[in-house]
Amino acid sequence: MMENTILNGTQGRPLRTRVVQVVTSNLGAFQEQSTLENWELPTDSHDLEPLRDAARHLKTTDIPIGFPTETVYGLGADATRSAAVKGIYKTKGRPSDNPLIIHICDLTMLRSLLKPATSDNGHSKITEDPIPDIYKPLIKKYWPGPLTILLPNPQPSKLAPEVTAGLPTFGARMPELPLALSLIKLAGVPLAAPSANASTKPSPTTAEHVHHDLDGKIELILDGGPCDVGVESSVVDGLCDPPVLLRPGGLSIDKIRECPGWENVVKGYKDQSEIGSSAPRAPGMKYKHYSPKASVTLFEATKTNPDMTELPLEIRQAVLSMNPVSGSKNDIPKIGIVSTRNWRNWAGFDHQESKTHGAESHEDVTRVIESDFKEPLERTSCQLQYGEVWVGQKLSDKSTSDEMETSHKGLVARIIAIALGSDTKDIAHGLFSALRELDKRNVDAIYVEGIEDQGDIAAAVMNRLRKAASIIKA
């Protein structure tokens, strides 16, 4: 268990952040899997005790907690209490016009939210099923899972107004992870839960990521292991015609189109609300997200290594002139490389010739001296590989490799390379961890190989990368 105590200046008392591991083998099940009506808890499971403590925390305080879902770790609070929801915005540093997704444990809970809180005689006036028919095929096929649906918010609403950020709708999803479902069941209320990271930072896929961002700001993080999906849920709006995919995520648009009524769903995550000043219709649409501290250059999907011909010159003139994270201009800069399907080792940094420059007509050549040391990337199958970029000068057009070895001018950069593999699911699973790892290593610049954003969850991967990137190259 990791613990840290710091002074919470806003409340004048120390906050201790605890990370509590949860055994996930016996946490509950649906009474009837085919209907999703009621999530039931086991009567004889000691594994629920950490969740009971967390539920009591959610009921009695306004400080959110970190907990895992199958997509990313969430920062959860009681969605029915304004003070608790405000705690999420405060903890994350999240803009108040960015709506939150609520998480439910079963359809019984969802239906209770779709009915007005009260009527004139103190009873709900709605007797028919309040779940819009358009969503029922999606719910039947893909819930519980990485899919959020937009629903009409009844008036008066049981949800705190801060959840919707002034919109007439709210987003709801049923997470797949039993730990999350049981936590919600024990709390007895829906949980508003954006990703459990500092606003604009890469989303957390492990409890360690949450602890890194929110240490001292929250009191409890439930550790259920690394997340399976690695990117947030897809968000759809079926209340308009045609239906719209507002945010790509763990469920692809092709899968959504397989359901009746959703054959003509269109992409809506580049509409005006994403680039204009109006309030976003769904989380992740308006603001820059998923960004590490370093400058990120995204290369759109390429069949071969990118054209790195001018990058050695860029290293000398640009990278060397910028302030590294350490604050000293004299430090050797660090470059991070995240490769996916096509880039070979070092993404073309090795053996690149720059344009002729200077008084002499000699060309500079970069070489990567590869380290044998490899280190596993935290809780993934990927490895970090280390290298050094040296610039040498050609002695002649016929210079040999031995001559090149003796003509080194010096070390100009260090490289940390992470290969995520070619499988889209592996790329999605490792993406945020890779960006966070490079952040932790204090790299000054990151070069990322994109993928074709067609089918599967590739659209979600590229959506996150485009939001993280400072520069995008075709």
Report whether 459 contacts 453 (CB < 8 A). Answer: yes
Amino acid at residue number 63: I
* pLDDT average, residue stretch 409-434: 87
Check: CB of residue 365 under 8 Å from CB of residue 405. Answer: no
Range from 101-105, 206-210, 439-443, 470-474 carrying the lowest mean pLDDT: 470-474
**pLDDT tens digits along 9-43:** 345 565 799 999 999 988 999 999 889 999 999 98
DSSP lists the bridge partners of residue 223 as: 21
Per-residue pLDDT tens digits for 137-180: 999 999 999 999 999 999 999 999 999 988 999 999 999 999 99
Distance between CA atoms of 76 and 231, rounded to whole angstroms?
Answer: 17
For 257-281, how does the pLDDT look when each residue is reduced to its tens digit (9 = 90+)? 999 999 999 988 753 334 444 455 5
What is the domain partition of the chain in residue ranges?
3-275, 295-473
Mean pLDDT of the 217-239 span: 95
* Structure tokens, 241: 């015609």
- Tell me the pLDDT band of 445, cut-offs 50, 70 and 90: confident
| Dihedral angle of Cα 253, 255, 259, 263, to the nearest 10 degrees | 40
Cis peptide bond upstream of 243, omega within 30: no
- 8 A C-beta contact, residue 248 and residue 46: no
pTM recorded for the entire structure:
0.82
Homologous superfamily, domain 3-275? DHBP synthase (3.90.870.10)
Average pLDDT over residues 45-54: 94
| CA-wise closest residue to 88 among 230, 216, 157, 191 | 191
Closest CA to 465 of 384, 194, 323, 452: 452
**What is the distance between the terminal CA atoms of the chain, rounded to a whole angstrom?**
45
Q: Which amino acid is at 205?
A: T
Query: Please, is 348 exposed, middle or buried when counting C-beta atoms within 10 Å of its C-beta (0-12, 13-18, 19+)?
Result: buried
